[in-house]
């Protein structure tokens, strides 16, 4: 029997190899570290997981596609972006994961997101593999016509790699209902197939699921509520800070408010808004979803209760709960220290990997309940899988039914992570619980399916 420390040194050796084999991909290294650091107890306890090659296969994507995306802007100038799709692991089902359109996108970012997605999707229990894609295209300030031409060009290459039984993309940062519409239209035109299950996050009326837009934010709030319940508390009357102002942030605020919490902030790259009365969602939705504007406009139009803080950190605002819902590494060690000083009780990740490893460590040390994104934000991809189920059955469910299923899934993810952490001597450590539980499901399927 190998000891945990022997296993840990094998995993550390593997991490060094990952860094050498994947140079200049710091986000991917970080995501791999975060998972491999917590696996020693399960690998030491279950010898089949120490089988040579298992973890080596897990950290190597099954397939990585990179392609040129040429398109013409409104002035007729040719622009060239780079497109990606990383099909990471299909042991549990077709590759599943979003597309991100943002100037920061590169192969390492997509690999980190795809790697996280494997475990997140496994935790949903819904039979979906892990993948991710996107482009360094920046939709901000682009006209609808430019976004459409970009999406059409992107799909003109991507269509050959995806399919309802192969790989099912969805949205992520910079990809919402508008982009999914243009992408779906081009896929349908090229393939001459009405294959509704090829993309999720579609519009209602042409195959989209009710509650899909809300699912990530709603799910994260349900996960945070479950963590609080574990400590004998609930959401009622708690003050919450939320970062971001996209789809995840908006529906996080909506659910917090519905459950009696006071969500007082939102942000974008220009700064943040703090609103003592609680964020007015109608106004925020109007500015972000209809006008595609910036959050300073919110403060201008809201009146006395709100102010805009240019360039500041939303984590400076005292709160009981923090729900980072913007992007990776947005909550660092200093921010974590400030949150702790202000008495934060729980931090739950709506975005993917928003807290740095140092921040996670500090929060856990201070006894703050910490919900890692791969568990806490799994509601989005879970409802994507429910959208696929509805598409296959050529039916659509009521909002109440989808919401009920979402709530059950989030409760079950919370229980799984909680129980797994206890089983491996890490009570209350949701990071360890999520990583081990997700890993067990994927690793068992990979072992059963042989060396492929």
The catalytic position among 120, 132, 255, 374 is 132
How far is Cα 339 from Cα 159, in angstroms, rounded to an integer?
A: 45
- Coil, strand or helix: which one is 370? strand
449: tokens are 């399916």
What angle (nearest 5°) sits at the alpha carbon of residue 103, between those of residues 75 and 82?
75
Q: How far is CA 121 from CA 36, 94, 423, 427, in A?
A: 17, 11, 21, 23
Question: Does 352 sit near ligand GLU (CB under 6 A)?
Answer: yes
Q: How far is CA 240 from CA 45, 234, 421, in A?
A: 39, 12, 26
- Minimum CB–partner distance for residue 222 and ligand GLU (Å): 15
- Minimum CB–partner distance for residue 422 and ligand GLU (Å): 26
- Minimum CB–partner distance for residue 421 and ligand GLU (Å): 22
Minimal CB distance residue for ligand GLU: 98
Question: Are 176 and 247 a contacting pair, CB within 8 Å?
Answer: yes
How far is Cα 316 from Cα 322, in angstroms, rounded to an integer?
A: 11
Question: Are 339 and 400 a contacting pair, CB within 8 Å?
Answer: no
Span interacting with ligand GLU, options 15-23, 61-69, 91-99, 302-310, rule CB under 6 A = 91-99
- Minimum CB–partner distance for residue 200 and ligand GLU (Å): 5
Distance from the Cα of residue 122 to its chain's centroid: 13
Residue choice 123, 148, 170, 323 for contact with ligand GLU (CB under 6 A): 170
Stretch (H or E) spanning 309: strand 306-310
Q: Which is nearer to ligand GLU, 42 or 162 (CB)?
A: 162
Q: Residues 185 to 224: which contact ligand GLU by CB under 6 A?
A: 200
Question: Are 406 and 218 a contacting pair, CB within 8 Å?
Answer: yes
Span interacting with ligand GLU, options 328-336, 380-388, 411-419, 438-446, rule CB under 6 A = 380-388
Is 132 labeled as catalytic in the residue annotation?
A: yes
Question: Does 330 sit near ligand GLU (CB under 6 A)?
Answer: no
Q: Which is nearer to ligand GLU, 34 or 172 (CB)?
A: 172
> How many residues sit in the footprint of ligand GLU (CB under 6 A)?
10
Question: Does 172 sit near ligand GLU (CB under 6 A)?
Answer: yes
Question: Does 349 sit near ligand GLU (CB under 6 A)?
Answer: no
Q: How far is CA 88 from CA 2, 338, 427, in A?
A: 29, 36, 30
Furthest CA-CA distance within the chain: 67
Residues 6+ apart with CB under 8 A from 179: 99, 101, 139, 147, 151, 171
Q: Which is nearer to ligand GLU, 302 or 414 (CB)?
A: 414
Q: Which is nearer to ligand GLU, 181 or 380 (CB)?
A: 380
- Minimum CB–partner distance for residue 343 and ligand GLU (Å): 30
Residue choice 240, 299, 353, 381 for contact with ligand GLU (CB under 6 A): 381
Q: Which is nearer to ligand GLU, 38 or 328 (CB)?
A: 328
How far is Cα 174 from Cα 405, in angstroms, rounded to an integer?
A: 27
- Coil, strand or helix: which one is 94? coil
Span interacting with ligand GLU, options 59-67, 96-104, 295-303, 421-429, rule CB under 6 A = 96-104
Question: Does 96 sit near ligand GLU (CB under 6 A)?
Answer: yes
Strand locations in 74-154 (E) = 78-89, 95-101, 129-135
- Coil, strand or helix: which one is 69? strand
Q: Which is nearer to ligand GLU, 100 or 345 (CB)?
A: 100
- Minimum CB–partner distance for residue 88 and ligand GLU (Å): 13
Q: Residues 249 to 308: which contact ligand GLU by CB under 6 A?
A: none
Q: Which is nearer to ligand GLU, 38 or 352 (CB)?
A: 352
Span interacting with ligand GLU, options 50-58, 79-87, 296-304, 378-386, rule CB under 6 A = 378-386
Query: Where do we find the tokens 């109007």?
Result: 286
Q: Which is nearer to ligand GLU, 267 or 352 (CB)?
A: 352
Question: Does 98 sit near ligand GLU (CB under 6 A)?
Answer: yes
Side-by-side strand order, sheet with 239-242: 262-263, 239-242, 321-323, 346-348, 369-371
Stretch (H or E) spanning 408: helix 399-423
Question: Does 97 sit near ligand GLU (CB under 6 A)?
Answer: yes
293: tokens are 């504007």
Q: Which residues are near ligand GLU by CB under 6 A?
A: 96-98, 170, 172, 200, 352, 380-381, 384
Catalytic residue list: 132
């Amino acid at each position: 029997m190998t000891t945990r420390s022997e296993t840990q040194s094998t995993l550390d050796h593997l991490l060094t190899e990952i860094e050498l084999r994947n140079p200049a991909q710091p986000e991917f290294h970080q995501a791999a570290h975060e998972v491999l650091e917590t696996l020693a107890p399960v690998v030491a306890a279950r010898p089949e997981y120490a089988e040579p090659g298992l973890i080596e296969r897990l950290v190597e994507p099954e397939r990585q596609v990179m392609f040129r995306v040429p398109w013409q802007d409104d002035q007729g100038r040719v622009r060239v972006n780079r497109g990606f799709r990383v099909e990471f692991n299909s042991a549990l089902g077709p590759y599943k994961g979003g597309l991100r359109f943002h100037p920061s996108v590169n192969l390492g970012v997509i690999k980190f997101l795809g790697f996280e997605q494997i475990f997140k999707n496994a935790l949903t229990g819904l039979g979906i593999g892990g993948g991710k894609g996107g482009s360094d295209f920046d939709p901000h300030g682009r006209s609808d016509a430019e976004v459409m031409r970009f999406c059409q060009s992107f799909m003109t290459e991507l269509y050959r790699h995806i399919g309802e039984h192969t790989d099912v993309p969805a949205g992520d940062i910079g990809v919402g209902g508008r982009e999914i519409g243009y992408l779906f239209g081009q896929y349908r035109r090229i393939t001459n197939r009405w294959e509704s299950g090829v993309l999720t996050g579609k519009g209602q009326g042409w195959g989209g699921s009710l509650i899909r837009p809300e699912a990530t934010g709603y799910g994260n709030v349900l996960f945070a509520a479950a963590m609080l319940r574990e400590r004998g508390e609930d959401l009622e009357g708690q003050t919450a800070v939320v970062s971001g102002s996209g789809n995840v942030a908006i529906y996080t605020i909506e659910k917090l408010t519905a459950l009696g919490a006071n969500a007082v902030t939102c942000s974008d790259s220009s700064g943040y808004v703090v609103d003592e009365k609680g964020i007015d969602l109608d106004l925020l939705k109007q500015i972000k979803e209809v006008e595609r504007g910036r959050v300073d406009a919110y403060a201008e139009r809201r009146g006395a209760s709100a102010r805009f803080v240019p360039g500041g950190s939303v984590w400076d605002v005292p709160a009981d709960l923090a729900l980072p819902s913007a992007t990776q590494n947005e909550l660092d060690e200093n921010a974590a220290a400030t949150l702790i000083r202000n008495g934060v009780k729980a931090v739950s990740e709506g975005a993917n990997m928003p807290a740095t490893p140092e921040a996670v460590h500090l929060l856990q040390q201070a006894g703050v309940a910490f919900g890692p994104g791969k568990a806490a934000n799994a509601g989005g991809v879970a409802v994507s899988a429910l959208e696929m189920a509805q598409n296959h059955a050529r039916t659509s469910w009521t909002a109440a039914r989808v919401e009920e299923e979402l709530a059950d899934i989030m409760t079950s993810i919370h229980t799984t992570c909680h129980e797994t952490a206890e089983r491996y001597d890490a009570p209350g450590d949701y990071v360890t619980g999520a990583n081990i539980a997700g890993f067990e499901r994927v690793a068992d399927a990979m072992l059963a399916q042989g060396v492929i």
